[in-house]
């Protein structure tokens, strides 16, 4: 999976972890291995401008998702759903996809992390996962959708953290090479945006 990340927020974040969690989620949902995703971190002023422009709401959001290709979320096996397939007139398309952009605001994430009593890094990982699920077509407009999306979000994060724990404890994971940030490239915004607080839902 190709995940480009650009940090324009002025806040130091663990970019490697954000790339890792995004790649893990894409892999778990069986998205095409050549799929491309952009993650952009911005400050609260820039996020407030995006929030008002695309959502018509004041103040900075925690996460905004801007889909590019129309992906379909993985449906339950008993319903015959595919895993991140793009559907067309001739059926699912398994070709590589440009998923879109996820925009995160570390300042808002830090405030929410304090309320939730966990780290800002954990909040950003949660928001990245939440934004990615939105790109894949998940939503929480009603109770049933919310149960599906938030249940999947919790399972994905738990699995990723469990898989990451042994690596974090190893000497190799603590080396400077392992901790170096991923190469960053600009991530633009396009299309429609969707935003909300991944931990609590829209207020």
* Per-residue pLDDT of the chain in tens (203 residues, 90 and over written 9): 799 999 999 999 999 999 999 999 999 999 988 899 999 999 999 999 999 999 999 999 999 999 985 444 444 332 233 334 444 444 444 456 789 999 999 999 999 999 999 999 999 999 999 999 999 999 999 999 999 999 999 999 999 999 988 766 655 544 433 333 333 333 333 333 444 445 443 33
Predicted pLDDT of residue 171? 53
Predicted pLDDT of residue 198? 52
Query: pTM of the prediction?
Result: 0.73
CA-CA distance, 11 to 107, in Å (whole number)?
A: 8
Q: Could you tell me the CA-to-CA distances from 165 to 5, 135, 162, 170, 181 in Å, in that order?
A: 23, 27, 5, 9, 19
Residue 67, beta-bridge partner list:
100
Structure-block tokens of residue 118 = 């966990």
Structure-block tokens of residue 94 = 């398994």
Q: List the one residue out of 93, 117, 119 whose CA is nearest residue 106.
A: 119
Predicted pLDDT of residue 165? 82
Q: Classify each residue of 33-62 as buried b or exposed e, where b means 16 or more C-beta atoms within 10 Å of its C-beta.
A: eebbbbbbbbbbebbbebbeebeeeeebbb
Q: Quick check: 108 and 88 in contact, CB under 8 A?
A: no
Predicted pLDDT of residue 162? 94
Q: Could you tell me the CA-to-CA distances from 162 to 37, 51, 165, 168 in Å, in that order?
A: 24, 33, 5, 10
CA-CA distance, 91 to 118, in Å (whole number)?
A: 43
User: Which CATH code fits 2-191?
Assistant: 3.40.390.30
Strand order in the sheet with 36-42: 2-8, 36-42, 98-104, 63-67, 194-195
Return the biggest CA–CA distance within the chain: 51
Predicted pLDDT of residue 60? 97
């Amino acid at each position: 999976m190709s995940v480009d990340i650009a940090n324009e927020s002025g806040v130091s974040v663990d970019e490697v972890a954000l790339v890792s969690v995004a790649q893990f989620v894409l892999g778990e949902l069986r998205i095409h291995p050549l799929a491309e995703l952009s993650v952009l971190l911005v400050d609260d002023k820039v996020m407030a401008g995006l929030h008002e422009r695309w959502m018509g709401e004041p103040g900075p959001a925690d996460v905004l998702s801007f889909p590019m290709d129309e992906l379909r979320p993985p449906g339950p096996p008993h319903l015959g759903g595919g895993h991140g397939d793009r559907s067309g007139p001739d059926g699912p398309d398994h070709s590589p996809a440009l998923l879109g952009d996820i925009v995160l605001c570390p300042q808002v994430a830090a405030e929410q992390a304090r309320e939730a009593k966990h780290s800002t890094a954990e909040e950003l990982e949660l928001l990245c996962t939440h934004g990615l699920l939105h790109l894949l077509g998940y939503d929480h407009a009603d109770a049933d959708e919310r149960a599906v999306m938030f249940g999947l979000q919790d399972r994905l994060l738990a699995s990723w953290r469990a898989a990451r724990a042994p690596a974090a404890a190893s000497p190799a994971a603590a080396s400077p090479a392992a901790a170096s940030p991923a190469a960053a490239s600009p991530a633009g915004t396009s299309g429609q945006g969707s935003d909300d607080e991944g931990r609590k839902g829209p207020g």
